[in-house]
Each structure stands twice: as structure tokens, then as C-alpha cells.
Amino acid sequence: MERRKFIKNSVLASGLTLVPSFLKAFETLDVKNIGYKRIVIIQLTGGNDGLNTIIPYRNDIYYKSRPKIAIKKNDTLKLNDDLGFNKNLRPLKQLYDSGDLCIINNVGYPNPKRSHFKSSDIWHTGSTNPKKQTGWLGRYIDNHGKNAHTAIQIDESLSLALKGKFKNGIATKNATELYKSLQESDFNTILAYQNSQQHLNEHNLGYLYRTMIDAKSSAKYLYDTTKGNTLSKNYPKNTLGNQLSTVAQFINSRVAAKVFYTSLPGFDTHSNQNNKQDRLLTDYADSVSAFVKDLKKQNNFKNTLILTFSEFGRRVSQNYSAGTDHGAANNVFIIGDQLKKQGLYNNLTTLEDLDDNGDIKYEIDFRSIYATILDKWLNVNDTSILDKSYSKLNFI
């Protein structure tokens, strides 16, 4: 079989990403222990406007900069004497009041990029080096995947964040789809052909063939582990709600995964921003609320940490289309049962000292958040994964 044909046939029509050999360790790992910690990541793709999410309702600069799109004080959910939630985040306000949410303001990195692709790559790799080809979670898998620490993205394709040098995470919309797609594709035909052809060797099959064998084994594990635990119907019918319901099924089934990756697209609000963002923030808050309730019901929330980020914020000033253009620093949400710092981690900038583009300057490097999660939550050496030592924060 020609290598090119083999590679072509190896890519499933559904776009599911094949998994590396370390996932076989799933089959022998006992994860019934309730102490198995996990991280769930939610990316608000497109660049969410942080200023209309966490609103400085007493700041004159905010209202002068946004005469048409600024959120009125009466439409905010008060957090303190200066800041309030967008009213569409009411379910998140409940998490805030119960001590399950930490808001970190002014998060970014030096010399920010305002391209979706470049900035997303920086957040995914944890590096401003454009030559970096591995994700920060991919490197986590490279270093610790042999112990069945793995990552699952609830999507048809795998993002850079979960791609390592030697091992990758797995991308699938659900365990049943992955299992059946492997059964119904050319996958088994290729395996049968290989078994009947003794002359096919490492040179023309190599890593890809080994990966396919492990994919079949891992898909069966995920399918068998989750098939007795049906998806909850208590989630909103939107993109993120569907993804988080699948994540909850995995977690409540005790699937041996340490990282789950989800996303909600649509936040590139250059025009008619408020209507679009209102809908998206409602989808986000309702989905997260249902997810937390689901995990709490199964006693799994206390060992789950949820990180929400967007690749950049928006400009402080509105544009001529009742929207905002690409900005820089933004807010990050940390949700969990074991937070050491609850509520507002730090103050939002006064908006008096902006960069040359009219953007919020970063105060906290996002890699300090990564370093904190790696060190204090996943209990691994963050410096070896991030290739540099970053100061730790105190939210966990």
C-alpha cells in the first residue's frame, strides 16, 4: 500500500483525530477514586469583549468611549461598588455568590497580537515564539501521558493546544460517534489488509498504523465506559451546552482523562455587538450552570476546575458599526469548589493608561495562570512544560 494512500484512508471522513498509544493505559487505570483531578477549558472564540462582560459601571471613560454600546448601570449585576456582571450572566453571578468563581482581570501577554490566528496560537502553545509547534497541554501529555493523563477535545478536530511532539489528545463529539465511525470507516479494512500482507513494514506504515490500532482500543474503552451513563437533558440546546453535556458524561462515567477542551464561537463582534454578545453570554452562562449542577449531583465538581478564556479582548472605544475591534488584555474566569481566592482576584484597570492602540494593558501574564494550574492543580513541573518559570497566582 502506498504511504500517501494509507495516510488518506487513515483520516476518517468525520474528521475525528486518531489517538496515540498512551491512551491504552486507560484500560488498566482505576479512576473510581474521587480524588482524580481534572481541568475543563472553555475558549470563547473570536475575542470576547471583556469590558461589556465585567462592566465598570462607574467609570466615565467607559461610557464616553462607548456612547452606543456601553452597558447601563441598571443592566448590570453588581459585584462591588465599581464592577458588575453583564445581566446575561445571571447564572454565573450565582456561582460568584456561592464562592465558586474567581475573576482575573487584565490578563494578556507582552507585545500582543491582534490576529485571531496568531493570538490563538500564542494562547494554545503558551509561547510567543511563532515557531512553536506544540501546545501547552500537548507538552503536558508528552511528559505525563504514560500515566494515562490525557486530553479530550469535544469537537471534530484537534486544536494546537492539545498537540504534543510525541503524543496528541483525542477529538470527538462523543464516545459513540468515535466508536461507530471507526467501525464503519475503512479502518478495519486497512487493519485486515495489513494483517494479510507480511511484507508491509515500519517503513511504509510506521507510526500511523500503530496509532490506528491504539485508536480502536481506546475508542472501545471510551464507548464501554460511557454507554451506561446517558447524556443529561438538562443542558441548553446550543454549541457549548452540547459539548459540556458530553464532558459531564465522560467525567461522571469516571473516564480517565485529565483535560477536556471545549469552545463557543462567534465573539468577533465588529458590528451590532450587543445583540450578538447578549445571546452568546446567555449561552455560555446557562451551559456552565447546567454543567456545574450536573457535576455537583455526582459529587464530581470538587475535583474539577473550569478555565474560561478568549484569545484577546476588544478595544476600549467602540467603532462606527456599533461594535468593537480586536484588542489586547481581557478577563479570565476560574470556576471550582476549591478556590483560595473567590470573587474578584484583582481590580480592573482604570482605563486611564491604555496602550498606543487604545487597548487595556496586561497586568497578569496568562502563562502565570497556566503555571498555577499545572503546579497547584495537576501537580506537575510547570517550568518543564512552559519552557520558562512564571510566577504563580493564589486562586487555588
pLDDT for 151? 86
pLDDT in the model for residue 136 = 98
- Could you tell me the residue ranges of all domains in the chain? 1-30+175-230, 35-171+237-386
pLDDT in tens, the chain (396 residues): 444 444 444 433 333 444 444 344 444 444 443 357 999 999 999 999 999 999 999 999 999 999 999 999 999 999 999 999 999 999 999 999 999 999 999 999 999 999 999 999 999 999 999 999 999 999 999 888 753 347 899 998 899 999 998 888 888 888 777 766 666 555 555 555 555 555 444 544 444 555 565 566 667 777 778 877 878 889 999 999 999 999 999 999 888 889 999 999 999 999 999 999 999 999 999 999 999 999 999 999 999 999 999 999 999 999 999 999 999 999 999 999 999 999 999 999 999 999 999 999 999 999 999 999 999 999 999 999 999 999 999 999
In angstroms, the CA 164 to CA 193 distance is 29
CA pair distance 193, 208, nearest whole angstrom? 14
Q: What does the pLDDT read at residue 174?
A: 80
The pLDDT assigned to 191 comes to 53
Which are the contacts of 169, defined by CB distance < 8 A and separation ≥ 6?
17, 19, 137, 138, 141, 150, 151, 152, 153, 158, 162, 163, 259, 261
Tell me, rounded to whole angstroms, the distance of Cα 214 from its chain centroid.
Answer: 25
CATH number of 35-171+237-386: 3.40.720.10
Least Cα distance to 304 among 344, 368, 265, 255 occurs for: 255
At residue 286, the pLDDT reads 98
Beta bridge partners of 263: 43
- pTM for this prediction: 0.87
Nearest-10 Cα torsion for 236, 124, 46, 331? 80
Between helix 206-226 and helix 187-196 the angle, nearest 10°, is 130
From residue 393, give the alpha-carbon distance in Å to each of 120, 171, 396.
22, 30, 8
